C-alpha cells in the first residue's frame, strides 16, 4: 500500500495517515493480520516524525483497527473489526454535516450528493481491490 500525504494540507498528518490505513483496510489492500511497518520504519519511509506515526498507530489501536504486539509488531486487526458505536456515529455525523451543508449551498441536490457517495464507496470497495497486488 502506498501512503500519500499532503504536507500542505490543513488536515494533520497523523489524521491523513490514519485515514489512509483505514481506507486500505476497507478496500482490502490491507488484510486482517497483515503486518504494518514499525513506527520508526514508516516514519523513515515517508519522511515524517516518528511521534506522528506513533500517534496515528495509537489512535488506530484505540479504535480497534490495529493491534500492537511486543513480538509481532503492528498488525491489522486479525479479529473482528470495530462495529458501529455511538461514539463513531456522533463523529460521523459531526464530520458529514458541514460537508453536506456546503454541498447544498453549492447547489447539489440529494441525488447528486448520493451519487458522489455511491461512487466513492464503489471506488474504495471495488476498484482498489482490483489494483491490489
Predicted pLDDT of residue 104:
97
User: Which DSSP category does 10 fall into?
Assistant: S
Long-range CB contacts (within 8 A, 24+) of 44-51: 46/3, 46/5, 48/5, 48/13, 48/17
Residue 9 to residue 127: CA distance in whole angstroms:
26
User: Percentage of residues in the chain with pLDDT exceeding 90?
Assistant: 84
The string of DSSP codes covering 19-88 is HHHHHHHHHTSS-TT-EE--HHHHHHHHT--HHHHHHHHHHHHHHTSEEEETTTEEEE-SSPPP---HHH
13-76 in CATH: which number? Answer: 1.10.10.10
- Residue 71's pLDDT band (boundaries 50, 70, 90)? confident
Across the range 94-119, mean pLDDT stands at 97
Residue with the bigger pLDDT between 2 and 17: it is 17
Predicted pLDDT of residue 70:
86
Across the range 54-66, mean pLDDT stands at 96
Across the range 32-55, mean pLDDT stands at 96
Residue 81 to residue 32: CA distance in whole angstroms:
9
Across the range 59-76, mean pLDDT stands at 93
Domain regions of the chain by residue span: 13-76, 86-131
**pTM score:** 0.85
Residue appearing with cell numbers 470495530: 82
User: Percentage of residues in the chain with pLDDT exceeding 70?
Assistant: 95
Burial of 24 (0-12, 13-18, 19+ CB in 10 A): buried
Residue 132 has pLDDT above 70, yes or no: no
pLDDT tens digits, one per residue of 87-105: 999 999 999 999 999 999 9
Predicted pLDDT of residue 127:
54
Amino acid at each position: 500500500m502506498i501512503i500519500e500525504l499532503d504536507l500542505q494540507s490543513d488536515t494533520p498528518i497523523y489524521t491523513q495517515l490514519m485515514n489512509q490505513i483505514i481506507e486500505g483496510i476497507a478496500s482490502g489492500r490491507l488484510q486482517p493480520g497483515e503486518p504494518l511497518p514499525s513506527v520508526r520504519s514508516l516514519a523513515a519511509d515517508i519522511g515524517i516524525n516518528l511521534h506522528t506515526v506513533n500517534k496515528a498507530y495509537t489512535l488506530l489501536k484505540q479504535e480497534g483497527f490495529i493491534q500492537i504486539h511486543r513480538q509481532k509488531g503492528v498488525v491489522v486487526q486479525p479479529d473482528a473489526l470495530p462495529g458501529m458505536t455511538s461514539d463513531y456515529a456522533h463523529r460521523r455525523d459531526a464530520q458529514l454535516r458541514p460537508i453536506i451543508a456546503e454541498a447544498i449551498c453549492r447547489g447539489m441536490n440529494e441525488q447528486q450528493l448520493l451519487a458522489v457517495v455511491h461512487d466513492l464507496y464503489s471506488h474504495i470497495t471495488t476498484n482498489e481491490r482490483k489494483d491490489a497486488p
